[in-house]
Amino acid sequence: MALDDDVVVVNGLNFEQRHGKERVRVARVWRNKDGRQFFVEWNVGISLLSDCVAAYVSDDNSDIVATDTMKNTVYAKAKECSDQLSVEDFAILLAKHFTLSYKQVTTTIVKIAEKSWERVSVNGQPHNHGFKLGSEKHTTEVIFKKSGVLQVSSGIEGLSLLKTTQSGFERFHRDKYTALPETRERILATEMSASWRYSFDSLYSIPKKQFYFTETYLDVKKLLADTFFGPPKEGVYSPSVQYTLHEMAKNVLSRFHVISSVRLKMPNLHFLPANISTKDNRSIVKFEHDVYVPTDEPHGSIEACLSRLSSKL
C-alpha cells in the first residue's frame, strides 16, 4: 500500500521505504475487585513511514527508530492500560504514540490480530478466570499521520460458516471445458475474511464509549452470519456465493452508517457428493444428499468490496 508521503526522490530515482516490527505477541490481564478477570491476546505489527533515507544511502542510522524499541513500546503501553480497552483503541494508542513522539515519523500503520479467547461457563455460571479459544480472529488496522488524519478499519479472519441446504449454482457460463453440473441443492461453506473501514477521520471524531469498537465488531459479525444463514426455520436461498456475499456487505452498510466500506473474501469450500461403485457393485455408496467428501483444495475464491459513493478506499 503506497501512501502519498511514502515516496521521495533520491539521486533522480523514486524511493519508497518503511520499517517496523512484526509478530509482537502480547497478552494482557485485567483484574476486577470482585474477582472477575479479563484476558486478551494480541499479535501486533507496526510500520513507520519516516525520514530516515540517510540510513539507506549514506550509512547514517541516527533517525532510525529501532524495531526493538517498537517491540518494547508495545509491552510498555499494554502495561500503562490500567483499564480494559478494545484492540482498535490499543492500535490507535500505539499509532498516536509513534507518530507524535518522533519528529522524523510522518505516518504509523498498526495492524493487530486478536485471538478469540472466550469466557467459559461451569455449572451454568460464567467462570471468573477461565477461557477457551475460539476459531476466528478480530483484526484491526490503524493509520495515523502527523497531520492528524486517522483511518480505522476492523475485520474478521477465519469465520467458518456452513449451511447444509438452501444453496445452488445454476445458469453459469459453459464452454468445452465446463464439467460442473448445475444444482439447486448443495452445501454452502466458507472460511470468510472481512474488513470494514470506519468513516472517522481524526482522533476527535471517534466515539468516547469504552467498548464502542468491540460492540460494533460483535454486531457486524452477527449481521454477516445472520445474512448468510437466513431465518432459523426456513433459511434463505443462495443462488451463488457472489450473491450472498453482496447481500452480506450491503446489509452491513445499511445497518451501520459509521462504516464507509466493506470488503469480503469468501472461499467456496467444497463438499463433494460421495458416489462409490465398482464393476461388480454399482452402489457401494449412492449419493442421496447425505454423504459428502469435504475438500478445500482447490477451492473457489470470491472477493468483493462495497463502499459508499463518498468513500475513499
Catalytically active residues are 21, 67, 270
Backbone angles phi, psi at 51, to 5 degrees: -85, 75
Instruction: List the one residue out of 214, 203, 216, 194 whose CA is nearest residue 261.
Output: 194
Alpha helices, H only, 81-187 = 87-101
242 marked among binding-site residues: yes
67 marked among binding-site residues: yes
252 marked among binding-site residues: no
275 marked among binding-site residues: no
For residues 44 and 6, give the distance between their C-alpha atoms in angstroms, rounded to a whole number: 22
- Checking 121-128 for CB contacts under 8 A at 24+ apart, the result is 128/35, 128/36, 128/37
178 contacts: CB under 8 Å, gap ≥ 6: none
295 marked among binding-site residues: no
For residues 18 and 8, give the distance between their C-alpha atoms in angstroms, rounded to a whole number: 12
For residues 300 and 163, give the distance between their C-alpha atoms in angstroms, rounded to a whole number: 17
CB-side neighbour CA atoms (13 Å) of 283: 3
Other C-beta atoms closer than 10 Å to the C-beta of 85 total: 19
Feature table: binding site for 5-hydroxyisourate: 67-68, 169, 186, 241-242, 268
Feature table: binding site: 67-68, 169, 186, 241-242, 268
Feature table: binding site for O2: 67, 268
Feature table: binding site for urate: 67-68, 169, 186, 241-242, 268
